[in-house]
Amino acid sequence: MKINRRKLLSLMGISPAVLAGVPTFADPAKKPAARGSDGEGKIEVLNPKGLPPAIQLVPMAPRVANLDGKTVYLVSDGFAGADRFLHQIAIWFQKNMPSVHTIYRLKAGGLAGDDPKLWSEIKANGAAMIMAYGH
């Protein structure tokens, strides 16, 4: 199914303009949908939504020009099969980009958990990271 990113972001209360990096205050739902009976008078009702946190835009890391001779960390978040999938990626590098050194690691803390120790290791020794997660 083709995803309408504008619609899904609006449902999250996020301006689609975020995608363009324009920090504006969007209004995702100005008017109720024009469906249903028109036979009664209008009333005013309150928006039941809470207060989403402000989003701090995070610049992405500068990319490496090429991976020749570089170390790429292959990191699993622990979902079943991610380790085997990343092993296949390591094999792909051996066959197709043999100068790339790969290191496999299992991230601590599950899907949402942070692993500062691993991040420090990657910062010290790696040029890039490929992370696999999902089912």
Rounded CA separation 99/94 (Å): 8
Q: Which parts of 10-49 interact with another protein (CB under 8 A)?
A: 11-15, 17-21, 23-49
Footprint of another protein on 82-111 (CB under 8 A): 82, 84-85, 87-89, 91-92, 96-97, 109, 111
Site size for another protein (CB under 8 A) = 92
Q: Which of 59, 69, 98, 117 binds another protein (CB under 8 A)?
A: 59
Is 69 a residue that touches another protein (CB under 8 A)?
no
**Per CB under 8 A, 60 contacts another protein:** yes
Question: 83 exposed, middle or buried (CB, 10 Å; 0-12, 13-18, 19+)?
Answer: middle
Residue 133 within binding range of another protein, rule CB under 8 A: yes
Q: Give the Å distances, CA to CA, from 86 to 91, 98, 106.
A: 9, 16, 10
Q: Phi-psi region for residue 127, left (φ > 0), alpha (ψ -120 to 50) or beta?
A: alpha
